Structure 1
Amino acid sequence: MAPDGLSLVSATIIPKDMFFYNLLKPWLGDGLLLSAGDKWSHHCCLLTPAFHFEILKPYVKIFNKSAGIMHAKWQCLALEGSTHLDMFEHISLMTLDSLQKCVFSFDSNCQESPSEYIAAILELSALVVKWQEQIFLHMDFLYNLTPNGWRFHRACNLVHNFTDAVIQERRRALISGGSHDFLKAKAKAKTLDFIDVLLLAKDEDGKQLSDENIRAEADTFMFEALGKSTPTNGFSECQFPRILTDSVCYETLQLLPTWDDLAQLPFLTMCIKESLRLHPSVTVIARRCTQDVRLPDGRVIPKGSICVISIFGIHHNPSIWPDPEVYNPFRFDPEIPQKRSPLAFIPFSAGPRNCIGQTFAMTEMKVVLALTLLRFRVLPDEEEPRRKPELILRAEGGLRLRVEPLSAGSR
């Protein structure tokens, strides 16, 4: 009952519990993930247009290109005899490649050569996990005295400097070209990115986001997409049996995924949703009550309580999901009426503070999976890996899958 009751309550009454999230403040600042109250509401309104379908449409070409680079690497590795690949490593780099293009219009070639910026983000994600486990170092002044604290702040500075440089360069272009002409030219060329949208965003009073707030939102988006890794984890966990793979291939055979094509991939969508049910990227969310909250059954959660909601537990509840450990995408068949609560499946959280970028994540997963299954046969490794909850639910030791290139005649 708790998730249903809590989802109906304002985000100002049940804000995020900051015990863990405060560790991210030096990196992410007061972005949408960590802000609260009026600031969160204000930023949410300004950021929503960044995920409008007209902005997302051109990103499909970026996903296609980034997936193509990854697949070319797989083809080369297969020719060399390496077919057992750590999907998390490959998909993480592909995701970051796409993100830098969508957020900053920047091509780092990170899938083909090392990138300091990408290395810093990966290092920050790993350090936050270690920091979380060292409860006696949660006070900043103690953590800052440790080698990991030095590394953390060095990586923060590198990431911040990169984002600041992009914002300043774009703002100069906006001023010199005039905001209207700048927007018109980029919209016509379909090259409007996340930074552009934030620079041009204004509230009803004509007030814009500061450069510091724009940096916080850009860094937050990069963290959400890689640090929590919904696209990465959702893709990596799709270990389809052969019959399902064949069905998806049949569905995608005539398509080179475009925005309009994505609506014609119902079975692929079902497979992704079932993967996210079995292995949600974020396993737990926490909220703190700032006043008494009455649940539908009459029970009251007292003010000051921290409510921990297990997404993994909800997704594996046998009273909602029969045989919850079995991979069965037909649970999400749109042709079959569902009696379960809409809050029985919450891989992107729920309520007012759900993931604003979930359409972006689902779009990327659909494009990359469709192209992958047209070009490769993807088979699970011999052993099912153990899952380890860190920032996200990860496969311990990596998620190794076997990929076999498909010839044109076998598709």
Structure 2
Amino acid sequence: MRWPSLSWLGLGPVVPSPWLLLLLATASWLGARVLVWIYTFCKTAWRLRCFPQPPRRNWFLGHVGLGPPTEQGMQEVTQLVAAYPQGFMVWLGPVVPLISLCHPDVVRPVLNASALPWPRDPGFLAFLPWLGDGLLLSAGAKWGRHRRMLTPAFHFSILKPYLKIFNDSVNTMHAKWRRLMAEGVTRLDMFEHISLMTLDSLLKCVFSFDSNCQEKPSEYIAAIVELSALVAKRHQQPLLHLDFLYQLTPDGRRFRKACRLVHAFTDAVIRERRRSLLGQGLDDGLQAKAKAKTLDFIDVLLLAKDEDGKVLSDQDIRAEADTFMFEGHDTTASGLSWVLYNLAKHPQHQERCRQEVRELLRDRDPQEVEW
């Protein structure tokens, strides 16, 4: 069938431009992505409607600004937990929900559930250049494989020799406190001192490296502390969650420099350990250290094999070692500082704890906690 000519309307045949087609294709793709995002957001918001939430500041900011990292912010969070003892939800801006679970009965099923299929939370991506794809940031089959391979690292036969390391690090911290008191110091930043103690312990347990960081500055320790602070600071600035913006800032440049230093240290330890063990046969050397109960975390990672007999790559080992250096020192220091704060606030409980420790150490020489 022949179509009538439209020349009398001034309309001739249309020759599609490649740029026009590209523009239409791009617009269609973006439109589809927006529709998918809207559908996903509405579906998520519908599922989360059962969680109570405090009043929003406004529709755009949501609950941004609630519970800042100050004493007043801690009081606000305490009030929220009292008002919503099971848990609650807040909105970071108009579209990002954040759920806080408070009661142990609510938290327990989450902790007991399989973690294999979890999606990586975008909030953790700031750690990725530093920690790599280790247990904290990996997901799916890789998370499961690494978790199984790392399980031997937490066997009591591996952990038991570490107790002397912990005791020595604490004794160093106590000696430093006594020296500072003799010099007239009456106030201490508890978290700073305990962080150095936990980092001192971890360097010995993970790398078999004695940094003496509690007594003198350490470039590696300073980089770890700086990275932790930079990630926390970035988390509080939503615009800097965008990598291309963050890389342009002074903090972004400091972050990259500290990452290079930390990675260089870890890589050097791994290379040196492989070189020394290969000289006597990797498996023979590690097995000899295992029998002597002197394995550190790097040794365990070098020794680890999956069900198919495959070992971890150097990149995997670095990711797990860096992850444990961060998670091990930060959470432990926070927990110990909080315990000591509460013991100082409640002398009667402090005395009960002191008596319990004295009873445990009675007639022991040396007077140190044992496994």
Give the TM interval when normalised to the shorter protein. 0.5 to 0.7
1:38 pairs with one of 130, 133, 141:
141
Please say if 1:56 is aligned against 2:159.
yes
What is the rounded CA distance, in whole Å, between the counterparts of 2:303 and 2:355 in structure 1? 42
Deviation digits for residues 123-180 of structure 1, max 9, x if unmatched?
1111111211222222222211111111000000000000000000001112111134
Deviation digits for residues 362-382 of structure 1, max 9, x if unmatched?
xxxxxxxxxxxxxxxxxxxxx
Q: Is the 8 A contact 1:60 1:257 kept in 2?
A: no
2:18 alignment partner in structure 1? none
Q: TM-score, normalised by structure 2?
A: 0.66
Please say if 1:234 is aligned against 2:335.
yes
Q: Percent identity?
A: 62
The change in CA–CA distance for 1:183 and 1:4 in structure 2 (over 3 A counts) is closer
Q: Is the 8 A contact 1:88 1:236 kept in 2?
A: yes
Q: Relative to total residues, which structure has the larger helix share, 1 or 2? A: 2
1:309 alignment partner in structure 2? none
What is the rounded CA distance, in whole Å, between the counterparts of 1:96 and 1:6 in structure 2? 30
Please say if 1:11 is aligned against 2:122.
no
The change in CA–CA distance for 1:145 and 1:193 in structure 2 (over 3 A counts) is same
Please say if 1:126 is aligned against 2:237.
no
Match for 2:334: what amino acid?
N
Please say if 1:245 is aligned against 2:350.
yes
What is the rounded CA distance, in whole Å, between the counterparts of 1:92 and 1:82 in structure 2? 19
What is the rounded CA distance, in whole Å, between the counterparts of 1:16 and 1:109 in structure 2? 39
1:147 alignment partner in structure 2? 250
Deviation digits for residues 258-280 of structure 1, max 9, x if unmatched?
443xxxxxxxxxxxxxxxxxxxx
Please say if 1:257 is aligned against 2:368.
yes
Match for 2:211: what amino acid?
S
Q: SS of 1:203's equivalent? A: coil
Deviation digits for residues 36-84 of structure 1, max 9, x if unmatched?
0000000000111111111110110000111111111111111112132
How far residue 4 of structure 1 moved from its aligned partner, in angstroms, is 5.1
Instruction: Show structure 2 runs of 5+ residues with no match.
Output: 1-104, 362-366
1:313 alignment partner in structure 2? none
What is the rounded CA distance, in whole Å, between the counterparts of 2:186 and 2:294 in structure 1? 36
What is the rounded CA distance, in whole Å, between the counterparts of 1:244 and 1:100 in structure 2? 32
How far residue 108 of structure 1 moved from its aligned partner, in angstroms, is 0.6
What is the rounded CA distance, in whole Å, between the counterparts of 1:159 and 1:153 in structure 2? 10
2:216 alignment partner in structure 1? 113
Q: Is the 8 A contact 1:24 1:128 kept in 2?
A: yes
Q: SS of 2:302's equivalent? A: helix
Q: SS of 2:138's equivalent? A: coil
Extract structure 1 runs of 4+ deviating beyond 6 A.
none
The change in CA–CA distance for 1:223 and 1:16 in structure 2 (over 3 A counts) is farther
Q: Aligned residue pairs: how many? A: 257
How far residue 7 of structure 1 moved from its aligned partner, in angstroms, is 4.6
1:395 alignment partner in structure 2? none
Q: How do 1:8-407 residues align onto structure 2 when only pairs under 5 Å count?
A: 9-13=113-117, 15-226=118-329, 229-238=330-339, 239-240=342-343, 241-253=346-358, 254-255=360-361, 256-260=367-371
Q: Is the 8 A contact 2:135 2:147 kept in 1?
A: yes
Q: SS of 2:188's equivalent? A: strand
2:8 alignment partner in structure 1? none
Q: TM-score, normalised by structure 1?
A: 0.60
How far residue 248 of structure 1 moved from its aligned partner, in angstroms, is 2.0
Match for 2:114: what amino acid?
S
Match for 1:46: what amino acid?
M
What is the rounded CA distance, in whole Å, between the counterparts of 1:171 and 1:106 in structure 2? 16
Deviation digits for residues 230-270 of structure 1, max 9, x if unmatched?
2212211123233322222222225233443xxxxxxxxxx
Q: Which has the larger radius of gyration?
A: 2
What is the rounded CA distance, in whole Å, between the counterparts of 1:4 and 1:236 in structure 2? 25
What is the rounded CA distance, in whole Å, between the counterparts of 1:4 and 1:75 in structure 2? 42
What is the rounded CA distance, in whole Å, between the counterparts of 1:26 and 1:184 in structure 2? 33
1:351 alignment partner in structure 2? none
How far residue 10 of structure 1 moved from its aligned partner, in angstroms, is 2.9
CA RMSD in angstroms comes to: 1.7
